[in-house]
Amino acid sequence: MSELTALDAEIRDLLRFAAERSMLPRFRALAEGDVEMKGEDDPVTVVDREVEDFLTEALTRLAPGVAVVGEEAVHADAGVLDNLSDQCWIIDPLDGTANFTEGKEPFGIIVALADAGRAVAGWIYDPNLDRLCHVRAGEGAKINGETVSARTTGENPPVTAVSRMFLTPEEAAVLDAKLVAHYTLVDIPRCAAEQYPRLVLGQNDVSTFKRTYPWDHAAGVLWLNEAGGRAARLDGSEYRVDDGAGKPGLVGASSPTIWNEFIAHVTG
């Protein structure tokens, strides 16, 4: 019988409540004015803001004095990013917003706890499956209280989900030239809350990310690494939540061997 720790259960209940109150009732039912554009192909909804406000308040009550870095708070004030080098909560209130606005799954909620620039715990919640992927550094990766280990797809060639959204045409052409002969290329789900589970649960072997915001990746990187896969920067360096701009992209893989092989193809 699987059991959650008291903290995991409390955060699960917060995420479930936020989804049931704000997210699921508006799925495929967004009203006019519920969606705005923060930038090109970057929507934000009333759900993003409601969930972030609720979780910011709830996590602050749970751990007074610990800063909260939320995606929408950062959009409003980039100075919030300064908290990433200290102990802080990191929130993506609606990961997969573009999917959500189009009435499509997947989407989810991501919360991480970081200290001194490194994620130390994370929670990735899929409200459609009521699935909680959770992790604490050094304690392994879990789903709904059960320890999980990353497994490959077993496919040959390996299955690779490549994000092309933020690549230049030249970058995309180079990527294709280096990968097509060695991998089966599939679309990304446009949702880190789904992509990291795919790398652990035998659905994808590799995934690449050019944009590496901490609210998208802090929890997933830790969870994948604790499951026995590997997530790291393209140059092999550790992913840190306080890296800032200018760092090389991120690659996640279902095993360290597959990660190394992928990097060899990309850089060779």
Angle, helix 214-226 to helix 192-200, in steps of 10 degrees: 10
How far, in Å, CA of 151 to CA of 63, rounded? 35
* Cβ proximity of 265 and 208 under 8 Å: no
Is the Cα dihedral 254, 225, 233, 214 positive or negative?
positive
**178: exposed, middle or buried (C-beta count within 10 Å: 0-12, 13-18, 19+)?**
middle
**Binding site feature residues for Mg(2+):** 71, 92, 94-95, 216
Helix %, strand %, coil % of the chain (to 5): 40, 25, 35
What's the Cα-to-Cα distance from 232 to each of 87, 222, 239, rounded to whole Å?
Answer: 21, 10, 6
How far, in Å, CA of 209 to CA of 260, rounded? 16
**Binding site feature residues:** 71, 92, 94-95, 216
Residue listed under structure tokens 């992209």? 249
